[in-house]
């Protein structure tokens, strides 16, 4: 892929089950020109999230515009303003926001696109811009809003975390353990991921692909659960509901195990919330945008302090975006799945 055009991934057909190569259409067009009041953005990094499969199905679970076949797929990322005819957004600015799956974008920088200027953090601005596609982007806001604003974690909480090796999960485990002082047991699929999560805040790991989930929870959390951070839904949520301590909290962040089922998952034991005065609380990351600056300051501070290791899992090259999305559903990523769109050298600190 050269820098001579605007490359795009568009929807070729609505996915059924996990995404397939045939669901994506590779489109090349001229780099667009900004009109008065617009800017031209050049994409450097894109973040991937399970919600993108829903975008491709024409649904809009996160409040973005519903897409049709032939549309460019939604996706947030980090970009540089390379031309500006907008009074507030200057050439050279690094920003993050709704770029779509494309290497250039002309934008009037509307509120709907939720663009933020990438801040300078730490001595010598030593945090890489790539973090804006994940850890210091919408994934980071999800982890922070889900754990702190929704889960009300307390020091010493016996905590279960599913999807612990994923983008949100690998942040939540570290924040809960290193910032709050929770006792975190994480769930992930396979030995490699289980080793990974034990290095990122989890006291113990449950390999959901090779262990009996209920028995493993009992073994690692014999007195039950104060806080369950749920990224997967389904049978794991059902098992957690059977093991609640007094005043426990379940944070509904995602339910990836349910997304590719043909029939919706049904929860038969929600009434278990009663006996222990427990709650199940959902959150939607876009409801927390008003906290953006405070959250990013918090997260950047913890990265600089060493409490939070920023883990992003890159594919290199925009052409690999479809594979990167499929990875999320196959559970292949560790940390936030991202795409280094131009295959540029990265800076890690």
- Mark residue 163 as left, alpha or beta (left: phi above 0; alpha: psi -120 to 50; beta: remaining): left
DSSP for residue 149:
I
CB of 160 to a second copy, least distance (A): 17
Query: By CB under 8 A, is residue 76 in contact with a second copy?
Result: no
* Among the listed residues 270, 293, 316, 344, the single contact to a second copy using CB under 8 A: 270
CB of 267 to a second copy, least distance (A): 5
Of 132 and 151, the one with the shorter C-beta distance to a second copy is 151
- Pattern 28-67, binding to a second copy, x per CB under 8 A? ---------------------------------x------
Interface stretch with a second copy, choices 89-97, 260-268, 319-327, 337-345 (CB under 8 A)? 260-268
Query: By CB under 8 A, is residue 139 in contact with a second copy?
Result: no
Of 146 and 322, the one with the shorter C-beta distance to a second copy is 146
- Pattern 272-291, binding to a second copy, x per CB under 8 A? xxxxxxxxxxxxx--x----
Token pair in block for residue 90:
């200057």
User: If you write DSSP's letter for every residue of 73-100 in order, what string do you get?
Assistant: PP-EEEEEEEEE-SSSS-TT-EEEEE--
- Mark residue 335 as left, alpha or beta (left: phi above 0; alpha: psi -120 to 50; beta: remaining): left
CB of 132 to a second copy, least distance (A): 24
Cβ contact 44:78 at 8 Å: yes
Q: Note the Cα 65 to chain centre separation in Å.
A: 19
Interatomic CA distance for residues 23 and 9, integer angstroms: 10
Query: By CB under 8 A, is residue 271 in contact with a second copy?
Result: yes
**Residue carrying the six token digits 């980071």:** 140
* Among the listed residues 26, 116, 265, 329, the single contact to a second copy using CB under 8 A: 265
Token pair in block for residue 223:
């007195």
List interacting residues with a second copy (CB under 8 A). 61, 150, 233, 246, 252-253, 255, 258, 264-284, 287
């Amino acid at each position: 892929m050269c820098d001579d055009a605007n490359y795009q991934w568009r929807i070729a057909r609505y996915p059924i089950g996990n995404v397939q190569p045939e669901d994506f259409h590779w489109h090349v067009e001229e780099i667009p020109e900004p009109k008065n009041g617009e800017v031209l953005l050049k994409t450097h990094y894109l973040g991937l999230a399970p919600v993108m499969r829903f975008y491709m199905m024409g649904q809009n679970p996160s409040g973005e515009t519903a897409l049709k076949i032939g549309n460019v797929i939604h996706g947030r990322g980090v970009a540089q303003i390379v031309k500006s005819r907008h009074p507030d957004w200057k050439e050279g600015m690094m920003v993050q926001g709704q770029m779509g799956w494309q290497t250039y974008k002309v934008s009037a920088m509307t509120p709907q696109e939720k663009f933020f200027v990438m801040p300078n953090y730490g001595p010598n601005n030593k945090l890489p811009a790539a973090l804006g596609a994940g850890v210091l982007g919408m994934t980071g806001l999800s982890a922070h809003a889900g754990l702190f604003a929704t889960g009300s974690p307390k020091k010493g909480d016996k905590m279960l975390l599913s999807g612990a090796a994923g983008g949100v999960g690998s942040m939540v485990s570290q924040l809960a353990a290193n910032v709050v002082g929770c006792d975190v047991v994480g769930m992930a699929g396979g030995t490699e991921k289980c080793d990974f999560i034990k290095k990122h805040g989890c006291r113990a790991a449950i390999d959901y692909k090779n262990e009996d989930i209920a028995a493993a929870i009992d073994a690692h959390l014999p007195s039950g659960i104060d806080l369950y951070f749920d990224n997967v839904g389904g049978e794991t949520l059902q098992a957690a509901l059977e093991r609640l301590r007094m005043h426990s909290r379940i944070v509904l962040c995602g339910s990836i195990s349910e997304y590719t089922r043909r029939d919706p998952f049904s929860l038969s034991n929600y009434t278990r919330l009663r006996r222990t005065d427990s709650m199940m609380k959902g959150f939607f990351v876009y409801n927390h945008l008003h906290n953006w600056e405070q959250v990013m300051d918090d997260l950047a501070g913890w990265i600089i302090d060493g409490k939070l290791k920023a883990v992003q899992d890159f594919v290199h090259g925009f052409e690999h975006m479809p594979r990167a999305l499929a990875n999320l559903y196959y559970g292949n990523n560790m940390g936030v799945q991202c795409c280094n769109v131009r295959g540029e050298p990265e800076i890690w600190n």
